[in-house]
Amino acid sequence: MTRITSWISNNITTFMHETIIPYVFTLSDSPMLLRELLHTNKMYQDGLKLEGNVPGFRMSIGKSYIVFIALWHAIIIVPATFFHTKLEGLDCHLLMIMAIIFTGMFFATYTIFKEYLIDTVAMKIVKKGWENHFPHFDYDRHAKEAAILYAEALDKEIPHKNMQLYILEKLVEVKK
């Protein structure tokens, strides 16, 4: 059973990264600047909303709606076919209430879907920028430390041109 769920999870992730994200987003080829990388990493580590604050990509809202509607219909058609005969006999007032709930669920899940896509693409861009600016440090192990060091550097009013050197020196000290 774990093989099947892991296979499904891997295929969904692959489909998301290779098909949906390139369709919905336009990504910039230019590398992320250090101050943008550090600021975005700090926001992500603090749990802040990344939408509109990460440079390097543009989301097509229309395409995201198309993808979401296609996914929504792929998921909802199966239960709808099973329950269609039972729903036919319900009172129209109850069906109106169900339509309102269904519409609310649709837009609420679209918001969750949109934020998930933005967070996924933002992390992809941040990790690419991390490899460019901090190639000898693993992002997953050192991202929190870098965010703390960035906040310290801002408090100490270290100029941006010296910020990378400051953070690299501190990361090397922490690594030893």
At 45 the pLDDT is 86
Confidence of residue 8 (pLDDT cuts 50, 70, 90): low
At 1 the pLDDT is 60
- pLDDT tens-digit series, residues 131-157: 988 888 888 888 898 888 888 888 888
What's the burial of 139, exposed, middle or buried (CB within 10 Å: 0-12/13-18/19+)? Answer: middle
Half-sphere exposure of 73 (CA within 13 A, CB side): 5
Q: From residue 65, how far is each of 56, 72, 84, 99, 119 by CA, in Å?
A: 21, 10, 26, 19, 17
- pLDDT tens-digit series, residues 92-103: 778 788 889 988
What's the rounded mean pLDDT across residues 45-66? 84
Per domain, the residue ranges of the chain are 2-133, 135-176
pTM of the entire predicted model: 0.80
Confidence of residue 109 (pLDDT cuts 50, 70, 90): very high
